[in-house]
């Protein structure tokens, strides 16, 4: 990956270094007839003209296209592109006029300067059109290749996960039948907490085995999965009065779609590292939506005793979920993690319209 990136950068450098020499070889044919009677070598305007070409190309590639077109703001993107292009061409035309008049035609007006006044801005507009087209072609091609690599990587990771799952899988029908039998026995013996736990566990496993097989699920299903997980954890810590779990899932758009099992690692991490039987422990989990954006926050106190013992592998699950975010929502999410050794705070925002 690094090698291909290095080669790409090298090819860009070669192109921009070679371009002025190509122009110099073609000098008498590209000056629109304005300077054909002049014997000077126009190396200065060619060099700064190339700098303008570079500025136009990479501004479109790295700023305008990602910010507007990749986010489907097409109308605004077209207007911004045209405005930017006209402004840069005007600046280049002004530089051409001032520098060429000062350096190459210092003796006042003449036929060449008259033609220069009439055609300099038009020449700048026309000569820069190939670069704006090349910038669009390069960015679109680059994004397509990147998306194809991501799809292939996701396909390979999914296949690997399925193989690992198959290796360790117990027949799900047998498992669910067993859970249903245990649930019935718990109800008959009036063991309500046990029955509740079995029911929640059954819901979790059903979601993991069946509902999460698709690329996107409704946000409501993902929230229900998180609720069941939290309720199952509460059964484990219910007798501990020093542990407080607060949740808020009241304000969210149930119709939004999200990648399955994307939020749960943050919740698991909070219960794994935020609970202590010796100290007061607080876990706060909040989810809401703002238009098409999911806003998810998990905050927990840090169990310092457990943290010291699990220092090496405590962030493994979170690294994996961040990798999934990079693959599934490139440039469409923000993740902030703050750890002050007292509290662990995760704030995640995902734009689901990708």
* pLDDT the model gives residue 156: 76
Please tell me the distance from the alpha carbon of residue 128 to that of residue 123, in angstroms, as a whole number: 8
For 152-164, the pLDDT digits (tens) are 877 777 766 665 6
3-class state of residue 18 by DSSP = helix
Bridge partners of 258, per DSSP, are 217
Six-digit token string for 191? 């063991």
Please, what CATH class does the domain formed by 240-351 belong to? alpha beta
Most confident of 96-100, 151-155, 312-316: 151-155
The pLDDT > 70 percentage for the chain reads 72
Question: By C-alpha distance, which of 64, 50, 58, 40 is closest to 124?
Answer: 50
Q: What is the DSSP string of 253-321?
A: -TT-EE-TTSSHHHHHHHHHHS--SSS-EEEEEEEEEETTEEEEEEEEE--HHHHHHTTTTTTHHHHHH
pTM metric for this prediction: 0.52
Q: What is the DSSP string of 163-186?
A: HHHHHHPPPHHHHHHHHHHHHHHH
Strand bridging mode 293-301 / 333-339: unpaired
Residue spans of the domains in the chain: they are 2-150, 240-351
> How far is C-alpha 50 from the geometric centre of its chain's CA atoms?
32
Six-digit token string for 19? 């371009």
* Residue 337: exposure state from Cβ atoms within 10 A (0-12, 13-18, ≥19): middle
* pLDDT the model gives residue 62: 85
Question: By C-alpha distance, which of 306, 295, 243 is closest to 266?
Answer: 295
3-class state of residue 338 by DSSP = strand
* pLDDT the model gives residue 157: 73
Average pLDDT of the chain to the nearest whole number: 76
> How far is C-alpha 347 from the geometric centre of its chain's CA atoms?
15
Please tell me the distance from the alpha carbon of residue 187 to that of residue 179, in angstroms, as a whole number: 12
């Amino acid at each position: 990956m690094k090698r291909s990136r290095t080669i790409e950068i090298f090819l860009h450098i070669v192109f921009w270094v070679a371009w002025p020499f190509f122009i110099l070889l073609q000098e008498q044919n590209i000056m629109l007839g304005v300077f054909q009677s002049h014997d000077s070598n126009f190396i200065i305007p060619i060099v700064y003209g190339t700098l303008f070409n570079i500025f136009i190309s990479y501004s479109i590639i790295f700023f305008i296209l990602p910010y507007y077109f990749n986010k489907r703001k097409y109308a605004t993107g077209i207007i911004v592109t045209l405005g930017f292009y006209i402004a840069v061409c005007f600046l280049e035309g002004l530089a051409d006029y001032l520098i060429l008049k000062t350096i190459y035609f210092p003796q006042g007006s003449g036929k060449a300067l008259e033609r220069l006044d009439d055609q300099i801005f038009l020449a700048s507009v026309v000569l820069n059109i190939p670069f704006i087209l090349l910038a669009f072609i390069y960015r679109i091609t680059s994004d397509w290749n990147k998306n194809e690599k991501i799809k292939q990587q996701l396909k390979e990771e999914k296949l690997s996960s399925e193989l690992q799952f198959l290796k360790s899988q117990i027949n799900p029908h047998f498992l669910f039948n067993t859970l249903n039998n245990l649930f019935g026995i718990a109800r008959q013996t009036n063991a309500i907490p046990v029955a509740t736990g079995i029911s929640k566990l059954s819901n979790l496993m059903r979601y993991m085995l069946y509902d999460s097989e698709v690329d996107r699920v409704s946000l409501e299903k993902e929230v229900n999965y998180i609720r069941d997980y939290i309720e199952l954890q509460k059964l484990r810590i219910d007798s501990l009065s020093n542990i407080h779990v607060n949740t808020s899932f009241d304000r969210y758009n149930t119709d939004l779609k999200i990648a399955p099992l994307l939020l749960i690692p943050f919740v698991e991490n909070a219960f794994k590292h935020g609970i202590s039987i010796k100290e007061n422990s607080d876990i706060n989990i909040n989810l809401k939506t703002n238009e098409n954006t999911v806003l998810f926050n998990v905050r927990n106190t840090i169990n310092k005793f457990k943290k010291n013992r699990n220092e090496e592998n405590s962030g493994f699950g979170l690294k994996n979920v961040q990798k999934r975010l990079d693959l599934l929502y490139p440039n469409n999410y923000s993740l902030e993690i703050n750890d002050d050794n007292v509290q662990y705070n995760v704030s995640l925002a995902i734009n689901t319209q990708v």
